[in-house]
Amino acid sequence: MSADFTDPFAAPSEPTIPLPPPPPRAPEGAYAGAAWAAIPAGYVPYTGNAQARPTRGLGRAVLVLYWLTVGSVVLSIAAVYHRKSVVDDFISGSISRADIGAEDDRARALISTAGLLQGALMLAGAILTALWCRRIIRNAITRGAGGLSVGKATFGWLPFAWWGVGFGQLRRATEWAVKDPRTVRRWQMAFIMTSVVSIGARSINTQSTTADQLSSTLNSIMFSVGATAVLLGLAAFQAARAVRMLDETFSPS
């Protein structure tokens, strides 16, 4: 049999198509340009961004309540000044002994109303602050922050705990995001000073046996409440800076 014999019953072979050459390999570091070489300062990557919730609306509501509280303290100063004016008019003889009772009752009612308004605004502010702080810390944890507690962020604004627990959570979140924690610390210190002066104003003994003593007592209360208003305004100003910074850092929109 000849060596070049072909089987007549074999299937015809398909023509061989040559494969194209592989694409050239990219050089090492081709995509490691300057834009990818380093992470910008202050950059915080999102992990699970879909779970983050906006905080800006709550933050604005918190600040509105803070400034309304400042206004209610100013109203308390006006109410105390009004009562002092009534007492001084009695001392000078402008108001008779028969009329002083009714005038003083109206003045005290105005002071009580201002105090109730102030208390209601402070309570609402504490509740909204707790809700805002809870959402900030949840967003921080969603983005990978460690060492934070949603429980402390929520209940850290109860009386006495509000001097340190809630602020501590905000400072840790700020430090994790490579932001300046002194912004939160200034807010905390202004709040503590306001609380101390406010407690001092409430501790003034209002029991007086004479009209002159009552006038002097009301004068002391008026200056103490005035100092509280100034410090509370400072605390609200520092809170505005801290709230804006934290909202810009942790709010997705």
Alpha carbon distance 129, 160 (integer Å)? 15
Alpha carbon distance 76, 244 (integer Å)? 29
Print burial letters for 83-95: b (CB count within 10 Å at least 16), e (below 16): bbbbbbebeeeeb
Residue of 195, 188, 184 whose CA lies nearest to 241: 184
pLDDT band of residue 24 (cuts 50, 70, 90) is: low
Which positions ≥6 away from 234 have C-beta within 8 Å?
Answer: 190, 194
Alpha carbon distance 223, 194 (integer Å)? 14
Alpha carbon distance 78, 197 (integer Å)? 18
- Using an 8 Å Cβ cutoff, are 215 and 91 in contact? yes
pLDDT at 126: 95
Planar angle of CA 84, 87, 93, nearest 5 degrees: 140
Question: Per-residue DSSP letters for 141-206?
Answer: HHTT--S--HHHHHHTTSTTGGGTHHHHHHHHHHHHTT--THHHHHHHHHHHHHHHHHHHHHTS--
**Ranges 34-38, 160-164, 217-221: which has the least confidence:** 34-38
Which positions ≥6 away from 168 have C-beta within 8 Å?
Answer: 152, 156
**Whether residue 1 has pLDDT greater than 80:** no
pLDDT band of residue 12 (cuts 50, 70, 90) is: low
Mean of the pLDDT values across residues 106-120? 93
pTM of the prediction? Answer: 0.76
